[in-house]
Structure 1
């Protein structure tokens, strides 16, 4: 069947489904979620190297006053090693968000993702993120404006609803499909739930049954086995990993192997992990510069330690260091002590 211009799922000769978003066919069904303060260029490159089939930038505001700031410049920075340049934007005014989409495409965005899932109060107070789920008519206006404004594929990320009494993800999904959205990601929680409780896979399954565009399941995917079971239960076309990737970028390799080939890949050796962590921290120093890089590095090291030596006091030691090179030296000495311990 020839490509029709809409996002859909293709079957390969081996029977493994491949997801297509617009003219882009993803290399697999495992995606990295956009996360503010986390999915910068260095982290996207790292996750892509370990198998993420698509990575998203940090959320960009549609407020024109911040488009040309240093913070926005860093968030928009892309490298071909991170794969397709997918940029997420958030806003509430249909014309403003359409203009922001156009500007991001001019800057090199190949996919525009609209955020209607962020539960943060500072975002919701501006009637952006998941707050929009309360107003389906406004959702439609925004989606239609953006789709008509750009020539690249437009995707949407939502939650299951604003609260448990108003779960309207099926309604929003139908609006998205009718508006020309080419893939839909659903975080299986309401805005009210924040990140508490268990993800609502039943609701993701219900959406998948009602629309023909690719549906991407998000929420609580922290292992290859969980990713496989979510795909099978919901019928979703892909999974999106967010918090599960923090300090654990090699998770994508494990998920890809189990989901795509049915084989289990063991975690990297301690030596490989240590080498990757050092490279990641060094890349953060280079990307952000000395004044900011060492601060950004602290949270990533804390996440890495959770998977290597969670009871260690090294986190406090590391957080007291204010020189990038000293951070690298301290990390290397710490890893050597673990190897020799």
Structure 2
């Protein structure tokens, strides 16, 4: 079964990375609305999915039956992962992604995420179990390795391909680097050279210049963007336009009315989470919009301390007005950082 994007795409693939607590359903819907070849859900623990029957909101969070959406599973037990994959496939999932890249201690401590790169035999058994459990496309997201002494991404990715995986995403750091230093896009080239399936480069892609560099150094078929979207959910649309040679000179500008966009995003979060939880969860998203707008500290504080949605919505136009001139194109047509 094909991935959501066309096999004959005439430009590099541009996808949204899964980020816990950030790429929730309202954020993914917003990014997908601007344009993205693939968006990936926040990580779902396979064991918890099977033990706790998800409610309406939790099911919605997975983005089941949404086009161009992948559900990311994490775990360490091949049978549990396979059963979780079957369950979400039966509920309408389009693509399943296996998490072998999360560096968080609470994940790796349970032998999940990037810890699986230390036990490649187990990792490959798990990949094989998931791929054989469903008829959906299965992808894998990984790092270069656990540390500089075990850069085994190419070997693991080759095994994943042999198991039937349709695409691999590689973050250009080891687990032990976490997010320190710079992503090594050139090191991803070893994975690209080892495979016949698409490889996406991930890590430190924040604008068109870094997207082009990542593609050139890695030779990847596309990119997966993570933290770069914070405060600018339209970024993927800008990258798609900039990387499409057929659309040269037809870039995508920053939306003219960022305050209205942020307000709509805020209200979508309130609708999804409910007013009380939504008010708290939305603060980080509002903070990123204000970071890019250069909002005055006192006004920023008033918004983040607000106790009602009405107060927040009243203050947003003033707080985000400066964002109308952020991220405009430079004279060369590239995007400013």
Whether TM-score is above 0.5 comes out as: yes
CA distance in structure 1 between the aligned counterparts of 2:45 and 2:254, rounded to whole angstroms: 37
Alignment equivalent of 1:44, drawn from 7, 28, 32:
28
Q: Residues 62 and 71 of structure 2 are in contact (CA less than 8 Å); yes or no, is this contact kept in structure 1?
A: yes
Q: Structure 1 residues 337 and 209 mapped into 2: Cα distance closer, same or farther (>3 Å)?
A: closer
Q: Cα distance, 1:49 vs. partner?
A: 1.7
Question: Given the alignment of the two structures, is residue 76 of structure 1 paired with residue 78 of structure 2, yes or no?
Answer: no
Q: Cα distance, 1:300 vs. partner?
A: 0.2
CA distance in structure 2 between the aligned counterparts of 1:204 and 1:338, rounded to whole angstroms: 34
Moved more, 253-262 or 211-220: 253-262
CA RMSD of aligned residues (A): 2.2
Q: Cα distance, 1:84 vs. partner?
A: 2.0
- Partner of 1:157 in structure 2? 141
CA distance in structure 2 between the aligned counterparts of 1:77 and 1:178, rounded to whole angstroms: 28
- Give CA-to-partner distance per residue, 1:294-325, whole Å, 9 cap, x none: 11110001111111115533221112112122
- Partner of 2:96 in structure 1? 112
- Give CA-to-partner distance per residue, 1:103-144, whole Å, 9 cap, x none: 111222110000000000011111100000001100110011
Q: Structure 1 residues 45 and 337 mapped into 2: Cα distance closer, same or farther (>3 Å)?
A: closer
Q: Cα distance, 1:189 vs. partner?
A: 0.4
Q: Cα distance, 1:278 vs. partner?
A: 0.8
Question: Given the alignment of the two structures, is residue 59 of structure 1 paired with residue 43 of structure 2, yes or no?
Answer: yes
Alignment equivalent of 2:260, drawn from 254, 265, 275:
275
Alignment equivalent of 2:249, drawn from 263, 268, 292:
263
Matched position secondary structure for 2:41: coil
Q: Name structure 1 gaps, 5 residues minimum.
A: 18-27
- Give CA-to-partner distance per residue, 1:196-232, whole Å, 9 cap, x none: 1011112211110111010010000000121122112
The alignment covers a number of residue pairs equal to: 319
Matched position secondary structure for 1:291: helix
CA distance in structure 1 between the aligned counterparts of 2:72 and 2:189, rounded to whole angstroms: 24
CA distance in structure 1 between the aligned counterparts of 2:234 and 2:187, rounded to whole angstroms: 29
CA distance in structure 1 between the aligned counterparts of 2:28 and 2:226, rounded to whole angstroms: 12
- Give CA-to-partner distance per residue, 1:155-185, whole Å, 9 cap, x none: 0000000111111111111111111110000
- Partner of 1:23 in structure 2? none
- Partner of 2:328 in structure 1? none
CA distance in structure 2 between the aligned counterparts of 1:222 and 1:313, rounded to whole angstroms: 28
Q: Name structure 2 gaps, 5 residues minimum.
A: 325-337
CA distance in structure 1 between the aligned counterparts of 2:16 and 2:125, rounded to whole angstroms: 27
Matched position secondary structure for 2:257: helix
Alignment of 1:1-341 (within 5 A): 10-11=7-8, 16-17=10-11, 29-63=13-47, 64-68=50-54, 72-78=58-64, 80=66, 83-261=67-245, 262-263=248-249, 265=251, 267-269=253-255, 271-309=256-294, 312-335=297-320
Q: Cα distance, 1:78 vs. partner?
A: 4.7
Q: Cα distance, 1:6 vs. partner?
A: 7.0
